[in-house]
Structure 1
Amino acid sequence: LFLVLAIMAVYYFRERSLFLDTAFQSFEIIKNGGFAIQVNRFGAVFAQAFPLLALKLGLPLKGVLIAWSLSFVLVHWALFSLALHRLRQPAFALCIALFNIILVNHSFYWVQNEGVQAVSWCLFFWALLAHCEAKGKWTAGNVLTAAGLVPLLVFFHPLVVFPFFFTAFFFSFGKMAGGNNPDSPKLSYKTLLLSVAAFLLVLASKQLFFNNHYDQLADKRLTLNRLWEFLDNPIHQAGTRLFWEHLPTDFYLWPPALLLVVIFYLRQKSRLKLLLVTGAHLAGWVLVTTAYQEGGHFFHIETQYLPLSIFVLLPLCVDVLPALFTRGKWLLPAALLLG
């Protein structure tokens, strides 16, 4: 999977590195010979390190732009590989892999969006915690890494709150996600509470001391007045029509995956998780569609829906697919194959 994405990233390097925001950041990196961090989204340094390194090595413009286009695939692949091989968490690794394809279409060419990168980092964060729980010990290195990832996630992109809190609730329901399946990742209530508390503390600090004009402008899309306007006539909103137009052509994997999860939880009588998954989908869809009820360019709107795919991918990789196979032994070969 990541090899195919890497080949496509190289082949379409111009389309990916010279498009809107990415073109501006390309110019800033080359002109200043340094990172081009915007609105305190410091997590962008990981992807920007590749074109910057290419620049320092004296590569021509084409080489720098190829490195820039390829960097976004390499960051996701690195997190996937670490989750699979270092942390031994194939469910989270598979989730990272599937996240890169299930809803990605137009946004393949709008690569710099930090919200997309933030989701893979969020999954890696929870994979690290699950690894420590499985080992039964927390080394100083793992504690420091987890502590450092919390502010990284908070500052990465505002939309990271969706996959972060969904994962926390998901693992808190039914005591241990995955039930009696020994191969599913597990997180204790103590770990979940500490993680959520740390995230909320950093998030509050960011809102109080590091808020910026760009995020403030985006917040105006989600006022109560706009929500009532949308709910008053949701069917005829331009954003709603845009979503349904693209559902059969771009998001066609979403409905069958969600249907599979819903049927599984109905058969398992797992009411809390069923409520969580369906409620998260409905709430997430309403929020995104409210924010873009006037419509807009779909390549941008698509990136707002991408974090919502975790609402179906996490249950699919942690609960559903392992139950369809013997003791979840499919996870490792499936993750390796996709990687």
Structure 2
Amino acid sequence: MIKLLPTKISFRNIKTDTLFIYSGHFFFFVLLLFSIYFYKERILFTDSAFQYFKIINFEKINIEASRYGAILPQLPTVLFSKLGLNIKLLTIVFSASFVLLYYAIYVITVHLLKNAEAGFVILLVLTACISQSFFHPVTETHQSLVFTTLLYAVLQFQNFRYAFIQPVLAIFLITISFLAHPVALYTNVFVIGYVAIDKKQLKSAFPYSLILLAVILAVAKVMLTAGDSYEGRFFAELFQSSETVFNLSETQSLKFFVDRGTTLYLAVIILEVIVAVHFVRRQKYLKLFWTLGIQFVFLLITVITYNNGDATLMMERAFMPLSLFAAIPFMSDIKHKRESLRYIKPLFLVLIVLLGLNRIYNQGKSFKLRTAFNQELLKKTAQYPNQKFIMNKEEMDNHFLAFWSNSFETLILSTIDVNVPTQTIFLANQTENYKKYTEQPGMQIFMGADFWLEWKIESLNPKYFSLPANKPYLIISMDNFENDAD
């Protein structure tokens, strides 16, 4: 008879890299579940709704502001739209595709490039300084930061079979991260310089050539961007900043950051303090100067560029790179040789991610109330045959924050809901300015947003959207439904 001896599993035998890898897989699974559960809240919301509408309406890739890095997460949606997938599943695919892209980069980072700590940086980027930004997936800042983290892993990897592979991959990642979002100038330069200091490459031409590429891309972006475009307005704000520099304390952007210093940005600030103290104690002054210097420049330019403020999710997006600036030095340099302290670092970082996921979930519950309100409103407007409506924006804001994209949001939401006809509600600051759309039944128009107001009904994809061409818009008010209830 064979006696089976019990196997003793000790927590101390588990490597910290293993903890990072498996917790990373788990957390990405949670993010994927969130992207599915909150698919309406993520996609039927401001820019995401508009871009998603264009993707499925024209069944092709949509590029905004020449940000070609946005192509990758759109590919599954374009493919499935051509295959005739219904709009509900298509919306779920679009929401999940962003998380799946980041997960694919995570797998490459931890399993091909053997860098578990860089892989966990991706998770910190996606959770540490995020609340509303999770519900703005089309913002290319997320993609840019994730690609920059992959660049860091490529530069740290030493086992490429052929020497030319590393520079080729580095050039590709610098380019694609910049094409995703110009904020890559700061993050790419930071990563290249940090790795050069870490690997003692300051006498090599390699890091300087990569930094030069990043700068050339940035200069070309500024020179080729039209002054009246979305990005052109931000560049203009920066170049006309002489007065703002002397009034930083009065800017809305600095106020936004300071007000959230003990909440949204607390974890990042703690990481920064730990890293700075560590560098001073270990006399790593070059790393200290580089880390704090890049962040100072980034914060200064960001505060100036967004000095007039913006919507909360846009301001969150603007400060997102702070998580990368803090996470990479912390993951790379903070190490405990003592056995008893070895797990403090991974457990602390896991806690940061858990708190971030909890913050995202709570924000999602709040946005679900907004979705429920819009669904209930569409049930009430369904009693009218017009299917096309105009409502005062201020009246809507009294219930939930509404955006310029409401026409597209309600169009898609009503199409997803099989219990109501396809409808659209255009929000106007002054409804009387749009009366011509209520008086001409033959005007075959779908009203989108002020910057692109008139869409021919015949231009809508009949696979998804069925608005009447021969009916005028109807101006409605919440009072209509209250009176009906009476």
The structure with the largest strand share of the pair is 2
Alpha carbons of 1:99 and 1:109: their partners in 2 closer, same or farther (altered >3 Å)?
Answer: same
1:134-149 mapped onto 2 (5 Å cutoff): 134-135=158-159, 137-138=161-162, 144-149=168-173
1:301 corresponds in structure 2 to: 315
Task: Between the two structures, name the one with larger relative contact order (CA 8 Å, sep ≥ 6).
Answer: 1
Instruction: Tell me the distance in 2 between the aligned counterparts of 1:165 and 1:292.
Output: 22
Residue aligning to 2:184: 160
1:215 counterpart letter in structure 2 = E
What aligned pairs does 1:127-276 form with structure 2 within 5 A after superposition? 127-131=153-157, 134-135=158-159, 137-138=161-162, 144-173=168-197, 175-176=199-200, 189-209=204-224, 213-225=229-241, 228-276=242-290
Aligned 8 A contact 2:222 2:235 in 1: no
With over 3 angstroms needed to count, the CA separation of the structure-2 counterparts of 1:128 and 1:336, relative to structure 1, is farther
SS of 1:149's partner is: helix
Counterpart secondary structure, 2:183 = helix
The question of 1:38 aligning with 2:64 is answered yes
Q: Say if 1:169 and 1:158 are closer, same or farther in 2 by CA, change over 3 A.
A: same
Runs of 4+ in 1 over 6 A off after TM superposition: 322-326, 328-337
Which residue of 2 is the match for residue 116 of structure 1? 142
Structure 2: stretches of 5+ with no match in the other structure: 1-26, 352-486
Distance 2:345 2:258 in 1: 33
Q: Which has the larger radius of gyration?
A: 2
Q: Identify if the C-alpha distance between structure 1 residues 126 and 233 changes in structure 2 by more than 3 Å, giving closer, same or farther.
A: same
> What value does the CA root-mean-square deviation take over the aligned residues?
3.1
- How far has the Cα of 1:168 moved from its partner? 1.7
Q: What number of residue pairs does the alignment pair up? A: 324
Deviation at 1:55, TM superposition (A): 1.5
Question: What is the Cα deviation at residue 71 of structure 1?
Answer: 1.2
How far apart in 2 are the matches of 1:148 and 1:174? Answer: 22
Q: Kindly provide the CA deviation profile for residues 69-125 of structure 1, in whole angstroms up to 9, marking residues without a partner as x.
A: 111111111111101101112232121121111111111111111122111112212
Q: Counterpart amino acid of 1:199?
A: A
2:401 corresponds to which residue?
A: none
1:236 Cα offset (Å): 3.2
Q: Does the 8 Å contact 1:33/1:52 carry over to 2?
A: yes
The one-letter code matched in structure 1 to 2:174 is V
Choose the corresponding residue for 1:24, options 41, 50, 65: 50
Aligned-residue offset at 1:130: 2.5
TM-score of the aligned structures, taking structure 2 as reference length:
0.60
**3-state DSSP class of the match of 2:248?**
coil
CA contact (8 A) 1:91 1:331 kept: no
Change in 2 beyond 3 A, CA 1:188/1:164: farther
Distance in 2 (CA, whole Å) between partners of 1:78 and 1:3 is 12
Deviations 1:44-64 (A, max 9, x none): 111111222332332211111
| Farther off after superposition, 201-210 or 87-96 | 201-210
Letter paired with 2:194: F
Name whichever of 194-203 and 83-92 sits farther off. 194-203
**Pick from 37, 62, 65: which aligns with 2:91?**
65
Contact kept in structure 1, 2:145 and 2:184, CA below 8 Å:
yes
Take 1:138 and 1:197, find their aligned partners in 2: how far apart are those partners? 24
CA distance in 2, matches of 1:52, 1:98: 29
**Could you say which residue in structure 2 is the equivalent of 1:182?**
none
SS in 1 for 2:249: coil
Structure 1 range deviating more: 283-292 or 104-113: 283-292
Alignment of 1:126 with 2:158, yes or no, is no
**8 Å Cα contact 2:143/2:177 also seen in 1:** no
Larger fraction in helix:
1
Match of residue 12 from structure 1 = 38
Query: How far off is 1:167 after superposition?
Result: 1.1
Please give the residue correspondences for 1:79-94 in structure 2 after superposition, counting only pairs within 5 Å.
79-94=105-120
Percentage identity across aligned positions?
Answer: 23
Contact 2:118 2:153 in 1 (8 A): yes
Structure 2 residue aligned with 1:54: 80
Please identify, of 151-160 and 299-308, the stretch whose mean Cα deviation from structure 2 is larger.
151-160
Partner AA of 1:221 in structure 2: E
Mapped to 2, the partners of 1:58 and 1:104 lie a distance apart of 34
TM-score (norm 1): 0.85
Q: 1:329 to 1:138 in 2, by over 3 A?
A: farther
Distance 2:298 2:49 in 1: 30
Which of 293, 303, 316 matches 1:279? 293
> 2: CA distance between counterparts of 1:144 and 1:270?
30
Q: What SS does the aligned partner of 1:235 have?
A: helix
Deviation at 1:239, TM superposition (A): 2.4
Question: Partner of 1:253: helix, strand, or coil?
Answer: helix
Counterpart code for 1:261 = V
Q: Who is 2:306 aligned against?
A: 292
